[in-house]
Structure 1
Amino acid sequence: MAITYIEQDRTFWLDTEHTSYLLAIVDQENFVGHVYYGQKLQYTENTPAPVYLLRTGEAPFVPSQNNRERVSFLDSFPVEYPGNGLGDYRESAISVRTAQGHVGVQLQYVSHEIVKEKPALPGLPSTFPGDEDCDTLILHLADPVIGLAADLIYTTFEEEDVITRSVILKNTAGQPIYVTKVMSACLDLDCTDEKYDILTLHGSWARERQMERRSLMHGKQSVGSVRGESSHQEHPFIALLSADATQDAGEVYGMHFVYSGNFLA
């Protein structure tokens, strides 16, 4: 299978023909961390996962070892799907408001499934394989304090070197939870040692998808649409490129939103 769970270090390996995407479950509180995404890694029993990239063995350590520095941990740990209002001051992937007016949310690992198919998303556009087999990882997460559950869904298209992602929220609280933001994915990359560019696609009638490339800067940079449709003016695509990347060589991380409405990347 293209998706493997390694119990020893609590890591998930998602492999395509040329890439690997690694997640890990960390600490007693079951934080889901993003370990690695890039050129394919070869897993063997004698080669442990590179969980050192999470840097949990360095100060401020994990909350079970140093709970006084919980905010510092949340501010630096590469959370796979970051919550809101509890000390992580980076951009959140989800924000909510409960019936009592509380806005804090933090989704932790509960369980997982690995299935040999790509589950449908009822009522939404989606990608499906033809004759190619797909493996899917479903991470079941929950915030038991407010009664919110979430499924993070990852499907590997091995031959195309593509991993699709989606999120399903479930209210288990027995009372309303108002979702004020939910993103399909978050990709937390450590790019401090490299210079990267951002590539987006803009356009208009008869000149669709004009490539615009600029240097990645500090601060927030985004592309989106509030027209009610993605359209040819703002294409739902964004890519992060190594500064020396060309059409034939270099690192490129591309994300495309398979949806025709409003979007934000």
Structure 2
Amino acid sequence: MSLDAIDAVDWSTIPNPTWTQFDEPERVAHALRLLTVSTTANETGDAASLLAGGGFVCSHAAMVFPAAYAATPILLDLVEHGQRPRIKEAALGLLADALGYSPTAGHNRVDTRYDTDVPLCCAIARLIRGRRSALLIHGKYGKRLLAEAELHWRMTIEETEHQPDGTLTALATLEGTPFETPGEAEFHSPLSERPAASVWIDALTADVSGAACIQLGHIQYEALPGSVLYPAECGRREH
């Protein structure tokens, strides 16, 4: 399964921010293949070291590369279906690095099937949240990764009501953990491919299902249903 998923990615279209051969996305694909078919501890360790040494992440610089977004579903497959415990453990550790490290300057965003110019960490976190059941099986390490992914929340506006004082009340769906307010958010409109300037979320109430009500401060653009909010700090995150 993972080998087919690796082959399905057009790695040549993914940017290499450093232009060095060690950070080529095709090298990431090669390392993922080696990890998938590894049969000994040495083979698994060597493949994980390749991924940690560039292209996917650079461990000594705490840097994550754009190819990490394409690699994340493959590593999640290995966490769930890897042939050996060491493969699953290696994949879990690499995912934690990808979420925790900072993107290279100028390459901190990716286009996804649901939105464009998404902060890289938020895009990776959403993929991780989608495998909750598989990760919970891995005890404290899986729970820790999920807890970190929950901090990279995503909020989709469903209904809005303008208030007399110029603020906006909105019903929304929250993915991730509720956060303290007031807080700054990055605003994505369905009318634009680029994120707009940040907005302030003055208040938030949410239940366990993710149904939320938010109070936005003065907003200079139209918050249509389908507009999406991300943590502003994630959009500014760079190495």
Q: What TM-score, normalized by structure 2, do the two folds share?
A: 0.25
Query: Normalized per residue, which structure has more helix?
Result: 2
- Larger RCO, structure (CA 8 Å, separation 6 or more): 2
Q: What TM-score, normalized by structure 1, do the two folds share?
A: 0.23
Query: Normalized per residue, which structure has more strand?
Result: 1
